[in-house]
Amino acid sequence: MIVRSARGWYALFECQRETEPKSPTGRRVGLDRGITTFAATSDGDRLRHPRLANRNQAHVARLARVVARRRRGGANRRKAVRMLAKAHDRLRWARRDFLHKLSRSIINGYDFVAIEALKVRNMMRSAKGTTQQPGSNVRAKSRLNFAIADASWTLFASMLHAKAEEAGRTVFEVDPRYTSQTCAGCGLVDAASRISQAEFICTNCGLQLDADVNAAKVILKRAELAACGEGHRVAGPQRSTKCTSAGADPVHAASAA
């Protein structure tokens, strides 16, 4: 199939090839996806967020203003529209390149990867409200939605699932609720333990960790318990947990992320 994008023509084709599962590493990891840091791991690492859209925002905005100033139907406007489309296309492929490389390094390094089953579409709902009931903190919510879209959490989860199937690894999704308030040591759920955006100190056992790393450890523990068939408890109503491993459908497994 021949496809045209803003920057040229591409040939797309599909082929079958045999793959062999990768050798076991004996390692497991939990990932807590975020905004400031792309993800924190249960090993204590913080994965850098390239913030591609934020870095290119001024350039894209300038091109958009050029388009708005050009006369509709004119050759100069068509040229400006093509330049804007190319900028968006470069950004899209740069983001996919980053996510492909990161997901590959994670799947190569770990046999078992635990992530949250995030409903990103619900998280990005507008906060504008209505004329009768206007929303609050609309500008802050808009910036948050921009950052979430730039991180492409859903695409990242889909890539993890697809690469895990090919490599014979397991990607396990767990309920995301209260992971930031749960102690990775004793399991206590207490909002007071999250004393700041960056610091977690358990009010029960005194465990002190980076808040995102603590959440990643909680995610991994929940996944391990569920994967072993022991189930897991979190405050509030329970939700089904999904597991994708070799032989499963990665698209279906990532659809709720």
Place of tokens 């930031």: 180
| pLDDT tens, residue by residue, 32-81 | 999 889 999 999 999 988 888 878 888 888 999 999 999 898 999 999 99
Structure tokens at 220: 């991994």
DSSP state of 194: B
| pLDDT tens, residue by residue, 152-210 | 999 999 999 999 999 999 999 999 999 999 999 999 999 999 999 889 999 999 999 99
The total of other beta-carbon atoms located within 10 Å of residue 19's CB is 10
Separation of alpha carbons 82 and 4, rounded Å: 13
β-pairing, 112-116 vs 46-47, is unpaired
Separation of alpha carbons 67 and 238, rounded Å: 49
pTM for the complete prediction? Answer: 0.77
- List the catalytic residues: 32, 116, 212
List beta partners, residue 115.
173
Close Cβ partners of 248 (under 8 Å, ≥ 6 residues apart): 161, 165
